[in-house]
Structures are given as C-alpha cells and as structure tokens.
Amino acid sequence: MSGHLRIVMAQINLLVGDVDGNAERMRAAVAEARDRLKGHVVVFPELALIGYPPEDLLLRPEVGRRVARALQHMEKGARGIDVVVGHPLAADGRLYNAVSWLRDGRTIAVYRKCELPNYSVFDEQRYFLAGADACVVEVHGVRLGLTICEDIWTPGPVAAARDAGAVAIVNINASPYHTGKWREREEIARLRVRETGCSLVYANLVGGQDELVFDGSSFAMDRKGRILVQAPAFREGLHAVDLDTSGEVQVGTRASLPATDEGIYEALVLGVRDYVRKNGFQGVLIGLSGGIDSALTLALAVDALGVDAVRAVMMPSPYTSEISLAGARAEAVRLGINYRVIPIHGLFDSFITVLSGEFEGAPAGITGENLQARIRGVLLMAISNESGRLVLTTGNKSEMAVGYATLYGDMAGGFAIIKDVSKTQVYQLAEYVNRRASERGEAIVIPGEVIRRPPSAELAPGQKDSDSLPPYEVLDPIIEAHVERNLSIEEMITAGMDAPTVERVVGMIRRNEYKRRQAPPGVRITRRAFGRDWRYPITSGYSSR
C-alpha cells in the first residue's frame, strides 16, 4: 500500500429515518473497508445517517438529536481508517446538508453542501441552507476536496476546492436513477475534471425509497476523463479506488453497466423489493388478467421477492376470453407461484340486481365496465387484509397518463411497479424477460400469445384498447413529449404530430389528474414520472395551447 492512497466507496442500501440502524450498517462497512480492503478512507453516500430523501423528518427536533448521537458513535469507531459520512447538520439555528470527515475518534473537518437542488424530485431548499466554503483534507500527502452531489453539476464548488489546494475531488451522492442518467453523470463529471485538472471519486447510494431508486454505479475518473473504476449498478458493495501520490486515479475494477432494457428491469426489481421489505409486508398479491401488463408485473415480483412471496389471483368476468385464462395459467405455472381462479360472474350479477332500482335496465358502457374492475379490487384488498400481502397494481404509464384505469378498481393497491413504464416499454421489457430466459436455457416466462394479442381490458364484448385510445405507437410519443419533455401542443404539432390526436391526448392527461393523485406510488424510471416530480393542480383552467 505504500506510495498511494486507497479510498473505499461504500455503495450501501440504507433505510430512511433508521438513524441507529444506518449507523450500525456503516460501522460494519468501516471495519470491512479497513480490515479486508486495507483502505485509508471510506466514503459513504449523501445524508447516509438519516437516509435520502428524509423529507419532513428533518423538521422533527428529535431527529437532529438522534443524528448527533449516532455521529458521535461513528467518531469513536473511526480508528485506523478515515471515515467520510453524510448527515444533516444543525448549526446556529440553521440546517445544512453536510459531510463530516472523521479521524482517530474525532471530527477533523465538516463541509456544507453549496448547491441545493430544487427541481424535479428534489426540494432541498425547503429544508437546508446552502454552505459557501470549500473543504480540503490531506490524507497520506494527497489533498482531497469534499463535495456533495449537486455540487459537481455547477462549476463553482469543484473549482473552489481546486483553488483551496485539492488535487482530487471526493463527491458523495444520493443520485436517483432514470434512463440516460449514467451518461449524464459521466458527461458532467468529465466536464468538471477537464475544468479543474482534478481527478474525481463519485460515491453513490443504492436502494429503493418509495418512488425513487438509487442505482449506485459509483465510479472514479482520472484527469483525462476516463472512468478507471466502475462499481456495478443496483448492487451493494465496497469498491476500492487507488490514487497515486499526485492524486491521480489508478486502474481498478470496472463493472459493466446494463443495457437500457436490463437497466430499467433491474431498477424496477430493486424498487419493489425494497418497498415491500422495508415496509415489512409478508409478500405481494397480483391480480392476473392474462394480459401483458400483469404478466410483466408478475415476472418482476418473482425476480424481486422470490416465488414463495408472490401470490396471484385470476378473476374472470363474463367477458374474459379463453386466451386470457390460458395465458394467466401458463405464467403462473412457469413461475411456480401460488395461483387461484375466483370467477366474478355471480358477484357481478348480484351487484346488477342490487343496483337495478337505480338504473333503467342493466348498467351499460363505462358503468358496467368499472363495476367489474371494482369487484376485483374488493376481492384483492380482502385477500390482502387477511394475508398481510401488499397488492401490486398493474397499470402502466400510458394508462395513468390518460386515465384509462378505474378508481377503486384496477387502481386499488399499495404499489404500482410499472406506473412509469409506457405500454411500448412494457412490450420491450416482456421481450427482454423472455430473451433472458432463453439465454439461460429456460422456458420463456410470458407466453407469445400474450405479447402478440391486441391489448384489451376485456370489460365488454370484443373490447380493445384501440377502441378508446390512439394506437400506443402514436399515444406514447405524445405522452413522452408532453410529460417528460414538457412540450406544448404547438411544439408537438410543429414536430409533425397529428394535431387532433395531440389535442385529444393532452386534454385526457389534464382531465385525469384527479385519478393520478389517488394512485399508489410506483417506481420512477423516466426523467419525469407522475408523482414527486409532476405537481399539477387538479382544479385548473389552464390550457396547454
């Protein structure tokens, strides 16, 4: 180890609010980084002691006291290795997003985050005051500048650390995943490296927290902008970065980051696994329909939680086709899950009888369709109550955008894994699941008939999604342009999209905000998901023209 400095990036999965539990996990990682990896410094993610994002937990006075006590315990354990730990810091009546550098049983330096993000899923200015000063610490003759997450997305904080004498930058992060995020991080890191001439160690959080998934993917970049150490995505672990005496990064272990479909799939798996386990549910329950959305949801749940934790129920109505029954049965058998069929014909007839005095004849159209969905929702929630299993809804982003879902029906449940996955992406992920199974020499998971058949809610005779919606190959680009890229109606039409279709779809998106506000949370995998970073009023006279 002589002649260089070893920094260990602790890419770990923490639980928001569990200050003592997080500190205990970190102390175990400190010991491993010191004793097994022979590190000189171990670096933990942003706000690691309380977890990210802590949201309004930060407003509770006892939280600050717990963090202070845990930090004192962390100090005592900082022996034989320096410990860099993120935490909220109360000082002078203000609260800061901070990082402390611990050495030999005491804190030798504290840095306060300068750039506080207040966009998309971030609202740090609600809680924190920005810092203003650079922080540089010398270890084994190498001067390291401390920064926190957003600090490297603008030139100032890294330049200030360089001007204070840093030759390498340590950046601790709680940077959530969305498609394309790896490229964005790499480009920003390379820009800062080239501006300052400093190498960069980027340590990121991993794990699911409500709607957000933190992918890890920690890395170290040399002064030429090359990533020489790459940690895996979506996996916990301790990863060593060696610097020479000048602070330059040396070649180390480089994991391959997954391709787009695999990355999305792994993010969804991690998101539902952590949501279920961190909230203490016994398992999950899924209403299988024989369609592609519920088939993908089932595959994700089994990969996330294991066969024994997943239960499925098929609830055929008078309009359920034989191909749906066969598809659902095949999926359940291939995955080996606990599976039952509970027909709802009799219940549907009973509801019609009870409501006969309210209607002139049997309810037709949307009333009858929604009634079937709501019967299914009641049954699923009853089984959930009795079994302690969390109901996973199966609606996708395309449906959530335009309100093609039933309140208190197929929207009833506790977590919506594919809520931010468009219908087009659902098909792509289904193909990925089957391709992966084939490459492993296993039987495909989702039957080809389920993938090839025209999508249908099967709530009316011969019903198809295309009866109510534009084709998904037309619908999804409009949703992506308007929701994720914030384009107006005029901009979409100018880009070549059909004007009447654009106006119709945008109108549906606006009208159905009230439904989305009542939907369960789900994993965010795009740049802009419905939830934390989509905050439109329900009652509004605004037009997107």
- 269 and 236 inside one domain: no
pLDDT at site 545 = 66
Marked catalytic residue, from 46, 75, 115, 266: 46
User: Distance from CA of residue 487 to its chain's centroid?
Assistant: 24
Q: What is the mean pLDDT of residues 204-212?
A: 97
The string of pLDDT tens digits covering residues 214-250 is 999 999 999 999 999 999 999 999 999 999 999 999 9
Examine the residue annotation and report whether 439 is marked as an active-site residue of this protein: no
Q: Is residue 283 part of a domain?
A: yes
Tokens representing residue 386 in the block: 């009795």
Catalytic residue status for 464: no
**Cβ–Cβ under 8 Å, residues 101 and 146:** yes
pTM exceeds 0.85: yes
Of 412, 342, 341, residue with least CA distance to 373: 412
User: To the nearest whole percent, how much of the chain has pLDDT over 90?
Assistant: 84
Domain containing residue 449: 263-462
pLDDT of 2 strictly over 60: no
CB-CB contact of 40 with 140 (8 Å): yes
Q: Do the domain assignments include residue 315?
A: yes
* Active-site pick, 75, 149, 211, 369: 149
Q: What number of residues does the chain have?
A: 545
Asked if 177 and 240 sit in the same domain, the reply is: yes
Catalytic residue among 75, 113, 423, 484: 113
Give the mean pLDDT of 519-531.
95
Q: What's the CATH number where 238 sits?
A: 3.60.110.10
Question: By mean pLDDT, which of 88-97, 142-151, 281-290, 534-543 is the weakest?
Answer: 534-543
Residue 476 lies in a domain: no
Residue 540 counted as domain residue: no
The predicted structure's pLDDT at residue 454? 83
The rounded mean pLDDT for the chain is 93
Task: Answer yes or no: do 206 and 307 share one domain.
Answer: no
Residues 252 and 338 in one domain: no
Catalytic annotation present for 149: yes
* pLDDT at residue 151, as a whole number: 97
Residue 362's pLDDT band (cuts 50, 70, 90)? low
| pLDDT, tens digit (0-9, with 9 covering 90-100), for 88-137 | 999 988 999 999 999 999 999 999 999 999 988 999 999 999 999 999 99
Query: Of 13-17, 74-78, 271-275, 434-438, which gets the smallest average pLDDT?
Result: 74-78
Q: Which of 447, 462, 477 is the last residue of a domain?
A: 462
Name the domain boundary from 228, 256, 284.
Answer: 256
Per-residue confidence band for 1, with pLDDT thresholds at 50, 70 and 90: very low
Model confidence pLDDT, tens digit, residues 454-496: 877 767 777 787 788 899 999 999 999 999 999 999 999 999 9
Question: 315 with 290: CB under 8 angstroms?
Answer: no
Strand 82-91 to 41-43 pairing: parallel
pLDDT in tens, 277-314: 999 998 999 999 989 999 999 999 999 999 999 999 99
Write down the pLDDT at residue 364: 67
- Of the pLDDT bands very low, low, confident and very high (cuts 50, 70, 90), residue 542 is confident
Residue 544 has a pLDDT of: 63
CATH no. for residue 281?
Answer: 3.40.50.620
Q: Phi first, then psi: what are they for 15, rounded to 5°?
A: -115, 120
Are the beta carbons of 126 and 141 closer than 8 angstroms? no
Q: What is the pLDDT of residue 247?
A: 95
Domain total of the chain = 2
